[in-house]
Amino acid sequence: MAETLSLLARPLISVARAIWRPVRRVYRERQAGQMPFSGVNDLLGQRLDETMSRLRGGNVDDTWWRNVLTRIGHNYVAPDFLCKPALQEWLADEEVQRDTKALARARVMGADIEDPEAWMRLRRAYAHSTGEHERLADGPLDVVLAILAAGYMASIDTPLQPIAGMIQASARENRQGFERMEEQLSGIHRGIEELGPNASVVQILSERAEHELSLLLKQRSLSPARVRQELLALAQRVTEGDLRHVKHSVSAQVQYWCTRVHAAQPETLAVVRQYIEQLHQANPGTDTRIVDAPILETEGDIDGALRILRDVDTPDGRAMFFRTLFSRRGAETAMLWFDDQADRDSARFLTGLGWSNVAICLTKGGRWEEAADRLDAAQEHREAWPDLAFIEGVINVAMLLPTEWRHCAWEMNPFYTEIRPIEGPEADRRRARAKCCFEQARSLLIHIDQGDRAQLAQDWLLWLRLTDPTPEVANEARQEVQQGMREGQQAVHLLPVAQAFDIEFNDGPLDRYLMQRTQTGGLVDQALVAELLLAELKMDPRAYAEFLEREENRLTKVAAKATLVGKRIEALVRDGQIVRARSLLEAHRTDFIDGEDERLRAMIDEGAGNDPRAQLLGSILPDGRPARPEKSHQPSQKCL
């Protein structure tokens, strides 16, 4: 049977024991007063690294080994253990190297206690590398630590050994001094904890916790997953962390919101129920109906949730009731309830989130003017709910578009190729209002770390300038886009703008930027969109169709498959490949919506020389609206 590494290490155990005698003797020599100081470098760290390099490389030659044994006064023992590949593999791990050198340094410097976690890591790594049980790692590890120390001792000239001893003793004395200081500080800390913080400390910590809670609540519908995680962390801090001395009322608020945002998550319902019980125990009489209702909704009891919420006569309760009606019973049912409320014209009838959902619901029913007016009247909620300003801006922009295109504004893509805004005094008023809303939204959203949403507000501001009826304003915006396209990273974001508004640009900087990103990890998100758009601008129809087919799996990360198939069909038609285009359309006919398949069929018929008018008439929607304009695939706005 092959010998294991732990068996090979046994002959060197006596060497390991012998090594520590001269190490301790160096320490005692310093205590006796032998300290011939001259310039001393970091001998210990340097020599440990050198010895570790020998062990890792299996470079344990006989001359070096005999010198080590001579310096510690030990008879010759063959170093077979030190030359085994299994040992070298174990020591090749960087974490193993760090831990072994740290333990060896601690022993050389006279430490009384060794790091138990380092030992555990080393044992696990040994077992992983050798296949032996962790309990067999101690012998080989002791040998390695001893050899590291021996390499250090063998490297020190005799006159310098007292200096090494002095350094050892100084380190030991400093460590003992720090331990005494730590004990004293711990005693002081325990005393402070027993006395409790003073009123000023409580006030400062409470204000800090309230501020952090407020920032999280303002963005809970924009970044729900992150907010849930950060609320959990905040709840832990006010319970047992750095904010544990906050006022009881502040702690209760944090616990309440932590419970509430998790109530709609099926995987956390059991924990939420425990939190609710704890809330009632710590704060008898706490109203948790707005938490209880989402639990029932998550479990599928919609009627039960509505029964609870319909009787919560507070702005928050009414907002939650409306949201549940809207999402579960539809916009028409939700608006029937809202229109029947006597106090609906008061800004304080709902919260900011509630007014956001009412506005979205109103636009679903075509009541765009009322939606804009109600958000204008609810401006007092913007500080607590910054997205209110953004939503009002989108609604005012939508009212710059022809009625049949207003719904497209919710898709949050301002750079359409086929939509141009209306003009006139009312349009000028809506344009000015949208500009004011987006400017405020951008400022508020940046303050709560919602950079993506703030950038979208900035995009709408650019759209407003590019479509401004005043030529000077529009031309200045076009020049700004043209200038931005000269810088690769900025060009990624501005390419859809340049394409939509037919702004000429030099594609060299963007090409180079995309090439660099491709070679350093690949393209994602906006850079992938830029690659798609740039391919459409630069490639001939055949090459573009082949590109879309070849890269479909990668491109579906940023565009709907139906969009990619549609673009591929268009490219095939332009290239004269009518049969392939028709076959592709038939294969994906059910993927298209809003008459897009009829538009493509008409294009194919026209390419084949047929009369496309019948198909074009078929692409008109039942309500009289034409099919959607060409656009990037974006989700529609839903209730928040």
pLDDT in tens, 608-620: 887 555 444 444 4
User: 3-class SS at 16?
Assistant: helix
Q: In which band, very low, low, confident or very high, does the pLDDT at 629 lie, cut at 50, 70 and 90?
A: low
Contact 44, 102 (CB under 8 A): no
Sequence-distant (≥ 6) Cβ neighbours of residue 225 within 8 angstroms: none
**Which element (helix H / strand E) includes 151?**
helix 138-155
Least confident window among 18-22, 304-308, 314-318, 440-444: 18-22
Between 54 and 531, the higher pLDDT residue: 531
| Whole-number pLDDT of residue 58 | 66
Contact 603, 382 (CB under 8 A): no
Sequence-distant (≥ 6) Cβ neighbours of residue 593 within 8 angstroms: 562, 628
| Whole-number pLDDT of residue 528 | 93
342: Cα within 13 Å, side-chain hemisphere? 0
Contact 152, 43 (CB under 8 A): yes
Cβ atoms within 10 Å of 303's Cβ, excluding its own: 10
Sequence-distant (≥ 6) Cβ neighbours of residue 562 within 8 angstroms: 588, 591, 592, 593, 596, 633
Per-residue DSSP letter, 246:
S
Contact 16, 75 (CB under 8 A): no
| Whole-number pLDDT of residue 157 | 56
| Whole-number pLDDT of residue 471 | 94
Q: In which band, very low, low, confident or very high, does the pLDDT at 28 lie, cut at 50, 70 and 90?
A: very low
Res 26 pLDDT > 70: no
pLDDT digit string, tens, across residues 225-268: 999 999 999 999 999 899 999 999 999 999 999 999 999 888 88
| Whole-number pLDDT of residue 350 | 97
| Whole-number pLDDT of residue 51 | 76
Q: In which band, very low, low, confident or very high, does the pLDDT at 29 lie, cut at 50, 70 and 90?
A: very low
Token pair for 77: 């023992």
Give the CA radius of gyration of the chain: 36
pLDDT digit string, tens, across residues 380-406: 999 999 999 999 999 999 999 998 888
Res 561 pLDDT > 80: yes
Res 337 pLDDT > 90: yes
pTM (predicted TM-score): 0.65
pLDDT digit string, tens, across residues 189-206: 566 555 567 788 899 999
Token pair for 200: 């000023």
| Whole-number pLDDT of residue 611 | 56
Beta strands in 162-222 (DSSP E): none
Helices (H), 76-137: 85-92, 94-108, 116-130
| Whole-number pLDDT of residue 86 | 77
Burial of 100-121, coded b for 16+ CB within 10 Å and e otherwise, reads bbebbbbbbbbeeeeeeebeeb
Res 589 pLDDT > 90: no
Q: Any idea what the Cα angle at residue 360 is, between residues 357 and 365, rounded to 5°? A: 125
Q: Which of 364, 493, 514, 389 is nearest to 448 (CA)?
A: 389
Res 418 pLDDT > 70: no
| Whole-number pLDDT of residue 149 | 76
Q: Any idea what the Cα angle at residue 466 is, between residues 462 and 469, rounded to 5°? A: 130
Cα–Cα distances (Å) from 203 to 61, 79, 193, 194, 199, in that order, read: 68, 67, 17, 19, 6
What are φ and ψ of residue 523, in 5° steps? -95, 140
Q: In which band, very low, low, confident or very high, does the pLDDT at 34 lie, cut at 50, 70 and 90?
A: very low
Res 570 pLDDT > 90: yes
**Which element (helix H / strand E) includes 333?**
helix 331-339
Res 41 pLDDT > 70: no
Q: In which band, very low, low, confident or very high, does the pLDDT at 16 lie, cut at 50, 70 and 90?
A: low
| Whole-number pLDDT of residue 178 | 61
CA–CA dist 183, 609 (Å, integer): 92
Question: SS3 breakdown of the chain: % helix, strand, coil, rounded to 5?
Answer: 75, 0, 25
CA–CA dist 45, 60 (Å, integer): 19
Between 485 and 42, the higher pLDDT residue: 485
| Whole-number pLDDT of residue 527 | 92
Contact 544, 529 (CB under 8 A): no
Res 35 pLDDT > 50: no
Length of the chain equals 640
Res 21 pLDDT > 60: no
| Whole-number pLDDT of residue 487 | 93
- Mean pLDDT, the chain, whole residue set: 82
| Whole-number pLDDT of residue 6 | 67
What percentage of the chain carries pLDDT values higher than 90?
50
Average pLDDT over residues 207-222: 95
Q: Any idea what the Cα angle at residue 216 is, between residues 215 and 221, rounded to 5°? A: 120
Cα–Cα distances (Å) from 564 to 500, 544, 548, 608, in that order, read: 18, 11, 7, 22
Sequence-distant (≥ 6) Cβ neighbours of residue 344 within 8 angstroms: 338
Q: Which of 558, 568, 633, 557 is nearest to 594 (CA)?
A: 633
Q: Which of 618, 605, 604, 610 is nearest to 571 (CA)?
A: 604
| Whole-number pLDDT of residue 176 | 62
Q: In which band, very low, low, confident or very high, does the pLDDT at 43 lie, cut at 50, 70 and 90?
A: low
CA–CA dist 155, 166 (Å, integer): 17
Cα–Cα distances (Å) from 259 to 180, 234, 263, 483, in that order, read: 43, 12, 6, 49
Q: In which band, very low, low, confident or very high, does the pLDDT at 534 lie, cut at 50, 70 and 90?
A: very high
Between 33 and 353, the higher pLDDT residue: 353
Token pair for 422: 């209306």
Contact 397, 434 (CB under 8 A): yes
- Cα-Cα end-to-end distance for the chain: 69
| Whole-number pLDDT of residue 110 | 63
Res 623 pLDDT > 60: no
Between 209 and 129, the higher pLDDT residue: 209
| Whole-number pLDDT of residue 549 | 94
Per-residue DSSP letter, 344:
T
Average pLDDT over residues 335-359: 96
Cβ atoms within 10 Å of 571's Cβ, excluding its own: 23
